[in-house]
Structure 1
């Protein structure tokens, strides 16, 4: 009990004996304005991964690989110059291919928040490409008639602009084709004139 409220003993009640709020009760004071304002709430934003932290993590893994190789070579009692040469070669090779150190999302630790965020971002991008979702899509805009009318007008304007550009391109190609045809006819005429002039000179001889 707390301040005289509650059960003296939870035995046989099927509860833990604590006074808790009943979350199943509907709120009767909710108005139509509150329900309408619920659409104005922005959707939750996913945490953006920090690229610099991910880059630092990859480079740290490269140094770990280099240190493992250095310790292994030192145990084999190889000269320091050769050890440095092999370690530097491995470091150069690994730094040239840092993307190979991207872990699978299943192998990430719960504390690796930026890696998880990057995997989630790639997953959402892949799903958006599969569903053909626009990048500027906002949740709930399909029910906004004014928004749909604006998008319809914008698509009509864009379609007319594309058709106008296509017509201009066709006209330009037609003009270029006519120009080439006129040049070809002029070359053929000049060639026939030269051939006719050469034939007359042969007859005079």
Structure 2
């Protein structure tokens, strides 16, 4: 045995005394970069929490995914044009030059980029349509959903949750007005 870990002696314990680490134990995340919640400080313990704060999606990652989708469409168009070129060569028709294919691909890329910048998204996205690893897309969809719900219910942006009922000592129960007590009896 080393460093006072485990049994002082395995004798009579029915084990060999071999100590191994528990690989099922998950250490809590260190508060810092990538941590989902801010660290708890002594000042925040005294004050009631300001409520739930939605984690903001990373705009650069979302932009990168949109750019990748555009490039996929451009590459699909390029492959289609190259296959069309092969068919033209078989039929002994005039094939497109490589420069013409590049120009058409560049034109499509510019058109898709302009649509991405000008046009709104495809509409409201549902969180269910995303995979579990698409956390930024899910966060963006959740924010849009929360915004639609807030507008539908007429809640102002600067609205804050009212104080808890537990602080007034009633334990969540409200007293009935005297007139309503008589009507119940």
TM-score by length of 2: 0.51
Contact 1:108 1:116 in 2 (8 A): yes
In the alignment of these two chains, the number of paired residues is 109
Q: 1 or 2 for the larger relative contact order (CA 8 Å, sep ≥6)?
A: 2
Q: CA deviation at 1:46?
A: 1.5
Contact 1:70 1:83 in 2 (8 A): yes
Secondary structure at the aligned position of 1:96 is classed as helix
Contact 1:61 1:101 in 2 (8 A): no
Contact 1:66 1:91 in 2 (8 A): yes
Contact 1:73 1:83 in 2 (8 A): yes
Aligned to 1:127: 149
Instruction: Provide the rounded CA distance (Å) in 2 between the counterparts of 1:74 and 1:137.
Output: 57
Contact 1:39 1:140 in 2 (8 A): no
Deviations 1:112-148 (A, max 9, x none): 1111111110111111111111212222248699xxx
The structure with the greater share of residues assigned to helix is: 1
Residues 141 and 130 (structure 1), Cα distance of their counterparts in 2 relative to 1, 3 Å cut: farther
CA RMSD of aligned residues (A): 2.8
TM-score by length of 1: 0.47
Instruction: Provide the rounded CA distance (Å) in 1 between the counterparts of 2:112 and 2:97.
Output: 23
Aligned to 1:113: 135
| Structure 2 unmatched ranges of 5 or more | 1-44, 86-95, 169-185
1:52 counterpart = 2:65: no
Pick the structure with greater CA Rg. Answer: 1
Residues 140 and 100 (structure 1), Cα distance of their counterparts in 2 relative to 1, 3 Å cut: closer
1:80 counterpart = 2:98: yes
| Structure 1 unmatched ranges of 5 or more | 1-36, 146-205
Q: CA deviation at 1:72?
A: 1.4
Q: CA deviation at 1:68?
A: 0.8
Q: CA deviation at 1:103?
A: 7.9
